[in-house]
Amino acid sequence: MSMTVNGITIDDTFAEAFGMSGTGIIITADSMKWAKIAATVATGFGTSVIGAGAECGIDKELTEDETPDGRPGVRILIFGFSPDALLPQVRNRIGQCVLTSPGSACYAGLKAEKSMPLGKGTRLFGDGYQTAKKLGDSRYWRVPVMDGEFVIEEETGVTTDAVGGGNMLIVGRDRKGLLETAEDAVAAIAKIDDVITPFPGGIVRSGSKVGAKYAGMHASTNDAFCPTLRGTIKHSEVSPDTLAVLEIVIDGLTSKAVADAMRAGLKAVTAIGAKRGVTRITAGNYGGKLGQHHYHLKDLI
């Protein structure tokens, strides 16, 4: 049975999410502006593991008191299928996007039982002029660069308890109002620690289903939720007054963080959405057989 909250229909369904591996990295710089530039570039093209290799985003901004070097910084999260799959992603993103960014430094952003290389490969850029400094259990590499030294911690933590693909589909009859509401939901989710929304601005307009009629395509358009196909396909899920559907996908380091993020997102949508033309919230799943994690919308309202 679906329910109605503030005039918005909440489907009796669940978001189906998958176990993933995730890591956290702290990027600092001389100013928050440059920390964010490095973090934004390092997490760029990190929307879906299907095509981008990793799902990445900025988790939160850190004050001077929260970073290892007392400078402003941000914490980014990177998710992949396995720790091994994360390895080249972390190496390349840090090597190409953080090492190169003026004034940057890079530290472990996750404490976990398992660890993975962070600066182990990047240090070799120092061509023998790099030096290490071990403080407690952490080893920091100092790589001479043209604006001073790039400091990077040797390892960061990696968890295999991460969850990828928590989601909600927001259905509406006004595109502008729908987008504004989705933006509010993304902003509410951003306040939750240990989660990211990896798609552009946190929002996906091209929700997908598994498989396609074409060989080699692992995913294709979620036709049941394409408003322009209503009427021409029998399995359409959209009602006559629906103009658009937007999806928010959430990756988190723990299942609880993903649930908290979905709860925050649903609260934001139901608080204001009806006035902006939002009519319904549903979620994406594959019948419950593929993903280990199920988030029932009714439990999160």
- Closer residue to other proteins (CB): 139 or 296: 139
Quick one: which of 250, 297, 272, 285 has its CA closest to 174?
A: 272
Return the residue of 60, 71, 263, 280 that touches other proteins, per CB under 8 A: 71
Are 151 and 113 a contacting pair, CB within 8 Å?
no
Q: x/- contact string, 1-40, with other proteins (CB under 8 A)?
A: ---------------------------x------------
Sign of CA dihedral 291, 242, 4, 1: negative
Determine contact, residues 175/243, Cβ cutoff 8 Å: yes
Interface positions, 84-113, toward other proteins (CB under 8 A): 105
Determine the 3-state secondary structure of 109 from DSSP: coil
Residue whose C-alpha is closest to residue 236's, from 244, 225, 246: 225
- Least separation in angstroms between residue 24's CB and other proteins is 18
Binding piece for other proteins, criterion CB under 8 A, among 68-76, 169-177, 219-227, 275-283: 68-76
Quote the CA–CA distance of 60 and 196 in Å, as a whole number. Answer: 9
Instruction: Determine contact, residues 242/279, Cβ cutoff 8 Å.
Output: yes
Q: How far apart are CA 92 and CA 145, in angstroms?
A: 18
Q: Which CB sits closer to other proteins, 84 or 147? A: 147
Q: Are 79 and 48 in contact (CB under 8 A)?
A: no
Q: Which is nearer to other proteins, 42 or 244 (CB)?
A: 42
- Report in angstroms how near the CB of residue 28 gets to other proteins at its nearest: 8
**Minimum distance from residue 43 beta carbon to other proteins (Å):** 22
In DSSP terms, which residues pair with 108 in a beta bridge? 25
Q: What is the Cα–Cα distance from 167 to 110, expressed in whole angstroms?
A: 24
Residues in contact with other proteins, counted by CB under 8 A, come to a total of: 18
**Per CB under 8 A, which of residues 118..147 are in contact with other proteins?**
129, 131-136, 140, 142
Identify the three-state secondary structure at position 108. strand
Q: Are 76 and 25 in contact (CB under 8 A)?
A: yes
CB of 118 to other proteins, least distance (A): 14
- Give the residue with the Cβ less far from other proteins, 36 or 267: 36
Among 26, 58, 151, 196, binds other proteins (CB under 8 A): 151
Q: Smallest distance from the beta carbon of 129 to other proteins, in angstroms?
A: 8
Given candidates 19, 81, 149, 180, which one binds other proteins under the rule CB under 8 A? Answer: 149
CB of 140 to other proteins, least distance (A): 6
Shortest approach of other proteins to residue 22 CB, angstroms? 25
Q: Quick check: 155 binds other proteins (CB under 8 A)?
A: no
The answer to whether 71 and 85 have CB atoms below 8 angstroms apart is: no
- How many angstroms separate the CA atoms of 1 and 13, rounded? 9
Q: Which stretches of the chain bind other proteins, using CB under 8 A?
A: 28, 68-71, 105, 129, 131-136, 140, 142, 148-149, 151
